[in-house]
């Protein structure tokens, strides 16, 4: 029974991590999240009544608040997921990304370091600060055969990936310089339930259900490596509980797909799972519409997840096909969650908590 502090636990991946930990272990979880536009307490509804779960609305840039929460909770493990995470938003307004992803991570590291330094020896050596990052720090791959490994040099392209790369460097520096026991994980694109509707897969499902156009950047030939979010959540728990301090682990699903193929897969699943189409629509794929490509758009990402498979025994449970089927089905059967996001009501008070 561990005490695990999770930042960004009201977000897409953070909430999956919290739901996973509380449903499959006896651990206690404290979530710190500032509830930015991407934070949604409805994603934590399944655990809201669990006595081992606590939520606190905290901005990770607020060092005094962090120190107070860390001192009160006395975490054995910290999983740091809070971040600004949407590439298009980082192009329109990079400052929030610099603040949360770089300055916020610095505040987390300093808070964790001072707390860790005060721990007695056995707890000190068992402590882990786990920083959750992305494969986008590596830039893109020039050919169709290479994979990102843990030693691939960093070459970020967008303000988002540049700020995540910066935070990865800070975390490793705190290990080398101060000895803080850290682990970094770099993961490929996630998809699954509770995914914020600005991201490719939920956007396409929701637009298709409403008979709206499905916008595809450029030729749709950008290749991403997709991982079902619950597989990522299991991997993160495996890493933070059994991984080695100072190490980096790449996490991916070996599911490389072109964006256009992802969208066509979605359309085929919708034909089967939601055959009652909006009036006048013959096939969901008729909604696919080409739009101008994003500046600096990376062409191909692909992860070599061999190290975490070999050393920690983690493997994804879902194939791309099974994960996509679960995802499409979840969005069809949970319209209240995404309609709450679309109409803004998700920003109201939930969980009976005073925010
Ligand atoms: P998300 O945008 O869905 O959630 C981010 C969460 O962080 C939100 O709940 C938000 O309220 C919170 N947050 C933002 N700024 C904060 C601040 N200053 N203080 C406290 N909380 C703050 O993101 P996600 O998709 O769940 O990603 C989580 C982490 O995983 C990020 O670090 C991201 O870089 C990384 N990652 C994401 C993917 C992916 O495909 N989504 C892939 C690999 C890695």
pLDDT tens digit string along 94-110?
999 999 999 999 999 99
Cα distances (angstroms) measured from residue 35 to each of 82, 193, 321: 10, 18, 32
pLDDT digits (tens, 9 = 90+) for 20-40: 999 999 999 999 999 999 999
- pTM of the predicted protein model: 0.95
Q: Which residues pair with 4 in a beta bridge?
A: 29, 77
Q: How confident is the model at residue 352 (pLDDT cuts 50, 70, 90)?
A: very low
Give residue ranges with CB within 6 A of ligand 1: 7-8, 10-14, 33-36, 38-39, 59-61, 81-85, 100, 104, 132-134, 164, 187, 189-190, 196
Q: Running DSSP on this structure, what letter comes out for residue 243?
A: P
The per-residue pLDDT for 332 is 97
ipTM of the complex: 0.99
Please provide the average confidence, as pLDDT, over all residues in the chain: 94
Ordered structural domains, the chain, with CATH: 3-195+226-256+297-320 (3.40.50.720)
Pick left, alpha or beta for residue 254 (phi over 0 → left; psi -120 to 50 → alpha; otherwise beta): left
Q: What whole-number distance in Å separates Cα of residue 63 and Cα of residue 83?
A: 16
Q: Which residues of 164-174 are buried (b: 16+ CB within 10 A; e: fewer)?
A: bbbbbebbeeb
Answer yes or no: are the C-beta atoms of 87 and 160 closer than 8 Å.
yes
Alpha helix (H) ranges present in the chain? 12-24, 63-73, 87-92, 95-97, 105-117, 121-126, 159-178, 200-209, 229-242, 259-273, 306-312, 320-333, 335-342
Whose alpha carbon is nearest atom 15 of ligand 1?
83
Residue with the nearest Cα to atom 19 of ligand 1?
A: 59
Residues in CB range of 353: below 8 A, 6 or more apart: 41, 55
* Predicted local confidence at residue 94, as pLDDT: 97
pLDDT at 292: 85
Q: How far is the CA of 328 from the centre of ligand 1 (A)?
A: 22
Tell me which residue of 164, 171, 216, 157 sits closest to 187, measured CA to CA: 164
How far is ligand 1, taken at its centre, from the CA of residue 134, in Å? 11
Distance CA 5, CA 18 (A): 10
pLDDT at 15: 98
Considering only CA atoms, which residue is closest to atom 14 of ligand 1?
A: 83
Residue 269: pLDDT band (50, 70, 90) is very high
pLDDT digits (tens, 9 = 90+) for 177-203: 999 999 999 999 999 999 998 889 999
Q: What are phi and psi of 282, to 5 degrees?
A: -85, -55
CA distance between the termini of the chain: 27
Q: How confident is the model at residue 349 (pLDDT cuts 50, 70, 90)?
A: low
Residues annotated as part of the active site: 135-136, 160
Partnered with residue 30 across adjacent β-strands are: 5, 54
């Amino acid at each position: 029974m561990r005490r695990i502090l999770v930042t960004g636990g009201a977000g897409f991946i953070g909430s999956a991590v919290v739901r996973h930990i509380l449903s499959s272990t006896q651990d206690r979880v404290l979530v710190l999240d500032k509830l930015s536009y991407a934070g949604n307490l409805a994603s934590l509804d399944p655990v809201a009544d669990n006595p081992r779960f606590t939520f606190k609305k905290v901005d990770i840039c607020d060092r005094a608040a962090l120190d107070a929460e860390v001192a009160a909770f006395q975490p054995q493990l910290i999983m740091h997921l809070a971040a600004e995470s949407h590439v298009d938003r980082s192009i329109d307004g990079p400052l929030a990304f610099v603040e949360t992803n770089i300055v916020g991570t610095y505040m987390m590291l300093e808070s964790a370091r001072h707390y860790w330094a005060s721990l007695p020896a056995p707890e000190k050596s068992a402590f882990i600060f786990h920083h959750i990052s992305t494969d986008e720090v590596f830039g893109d791959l020039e050919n169709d055969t290479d994979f990102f490994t843990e030693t691939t040099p960093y070459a970020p392209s967008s303000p988002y990936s540049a700020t995540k790369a910066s935070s990865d460097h800070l975390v490793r520096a705190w290990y080398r310089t101060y000895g803080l026991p850290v682990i970094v994980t770099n993961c490929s694109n996630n998809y699954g339930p509770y995914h914020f509707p600005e991201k490719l897969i939920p956007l396409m499902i929701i637009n298709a259900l409403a008979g709206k156009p499905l916008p595809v950047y450029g030729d749709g030939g950008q290749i991403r490596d997709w991982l079902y979010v619950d597989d990522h959540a299991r991997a993160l728990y495996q890493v933070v509980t059994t991984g080695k301090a100072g190490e980096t682990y790449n996490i991916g699903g070996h599911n490389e797909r072109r964006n256009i193929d992802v969208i066509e897969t979605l359309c085929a699943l919708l034909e089967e799972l939601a055959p009652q189409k909006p009036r006048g629509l013959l096939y969901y794929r008729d909604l696919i519409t080409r739009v101008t490509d994003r500046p600096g758009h990376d062409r191909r990402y692909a992860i070599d997840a061999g190290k975490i498979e070999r050393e920690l025994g983690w493997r994804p449970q879902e194939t791309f096909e099974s994960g996509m089927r679960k995802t499409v089905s979840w969005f069809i059967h949970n319209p209240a969650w995404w309609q709450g996001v679309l109409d803004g009501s998700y920003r109201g008070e939930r969980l009976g908590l005073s925010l």
